[in-house]
Amino acid sequence: MPPWRVTAPGAPGVAFVPMVHAEAHARVNLMGEHTDYNAGLVLPTLLPHRTSVELTPRDDDRARIASEGFGGGEFVVGEERAVHGWLDYAEACTATLRADGHEVRGFDARVSSDVPVGAGVSSSAALLLALLRALREAFALAIDDVSLALTAQRAEVEFVGARVGIMDQMVASVGREGAALFLDTADLRRELIPLGPSIGLALVDSGVRHAHAGGSYNERRAECEMAAKALGVPTLREVDDLTRVDALEPALAKRVRHVVAENERVLEAVNALRADDAGSLGALFDASHASQRDDFDVSTPEIDALREALREVDGIRGARLTGGGFGGAVVAVCDPVVRRRDLEPARRAYERRSGREATVLLPVR
């Protein structure tokens, strides 16, 4: 990371008076992993963890951002460039808004967050949406919530260089805590499905970090595109005849099987949620994990160990890797009586086995 040029907005000793305040929540995906960039189905929900932005517009084009967690930074609006630090996300916002013809000038901002980075809960979408919401308000931009999500996705894909799908930005923009967002990424049709009284969630960060701007995630996406091309379909959403998949090279055939089955599991998970049936949802979680591990090849030995430890806990009905993979977190469906302290033995067993530090993100108490 480059050395940051400022550490706080405003001259030293001068109070920063924010004009707007905006925030966006992190998410956990309940089903539909690596389906969004294949025009498929997803089922994320919002976490209580969030990123907040306080912002005041300036009369010039300087953008100065302070953040306790990330450090500070500064750039010139209109001269944005990616330097591979967290500031890229802010530069990506103004660059993308301006490319769309929105009038954005400089600003002073302060960012704070309790969202863990690299834990598979989309700290990036929370940061982008919080910043974009603040900029929308500060500069009175005419842009609706769905367009804001699409802007965030383009910012991440085109500027930051992570070829992510639309799930995280959409749920950060139009999702709700206590409900899952059933989203068809092919046409952005969506429905909020309430999480019923029988559905509890546990979420544990493995302490194994991932970064999507690099290698493996983009590689999986490229494999899916190769497979679609070989099968003669625009996207893997269109694959309905799995017998043709056998003709593909084995690794590509496995990727396709995961995507097709995972889309089906989203539909089944929606039915389980509507029926408030934790047992059925748990079985789908287990099946999704096996598919991510064996067919999509995005799990790691640590993630598998954490999942197995959690699966031993009384009241846990099923558990799966969530998010982009290659590290991150495990989400479990559990009986609502399960508390943080009930996860302690599993957390400690995992830490002993892996030598990593795990953090319980849910339940909150």
- Enzyme catalytic residues: 168
How far apart CA 263 and CA 253 sit, in angstroms, is 16
Using the rule CB under 6 A, which residue among 67, 122, 206, 354 binds ligand GLA? 122
Task: Kindly write out the interface string for residues 24-43 of this chain, putting x where it contacts ligand GLA by CB under 6 A and - elsewhere.
Answer: -----x---xx-xx------
Select the residue interacting with ligand GLA from 164, 180, 278, 321 (CB under 6 A). 164
Radius of gyration of the chain (CA): 21
Kindly state whether residue 168 participates in binding ligand GLA, applying the rule CB under 6 A.
Answer: yes
Least CB distance from residue 361 to ligand GLA, whole Å?
15
The helix-helix angle for 87-99 and 123-138 (nearest 10°) equals: 50
**106 near ligand GLA (CB under 6 A):** no
Chosen residue from 73, 200, 323, 363 binding ligand GLA by CB under 6 A: 323
User: Among residues 324 and 327, whose Cβ is nearest to ligand GLA?
Assistant: 324
Q: Does 167 bind ligand GLA (CB under 6 A)?
A: yes
Instruction: Kindly state the smallest distance separating residue 38's Cβ from ligand GLA, in Å.
Output: 9
Q: Using alpha carbons only, give the angle 110, 113, 114 rounded to the nearest 5 degrees.
A: 160
Kindly state the number of chain residues that form the binding site for ligand GLA, as judged by CB under 6 A: 12
How many of the other CB atoms lie within 10 Å of CB of 355?
Answer: 9
Phi, then psi, of 315 in degrees rounded to 5: 95, -10
Nearest distance, CB of residue 87 and ligand GLA, angstroms: 19
CA distance 244 to 235: 15
> Both ends of the chain: CA-CA distance in Å?
36
**In contact, 310 and 272? CB cutoff 8 Å:** no
Q: Where does this chain touch ligand GLA (CB under 6 A) — which range of 164-172, 248-256, 299-307, 355-363?
A: 164-172
| 207 burial via Cβ count (<10 Å: 0-12, 13-18, 19+) | buried
Residue ranges that bind ligand GLA, judged by CB under 6 A: 29, 33-34, 36-37, 122, 164-165, 167-168, 323-324
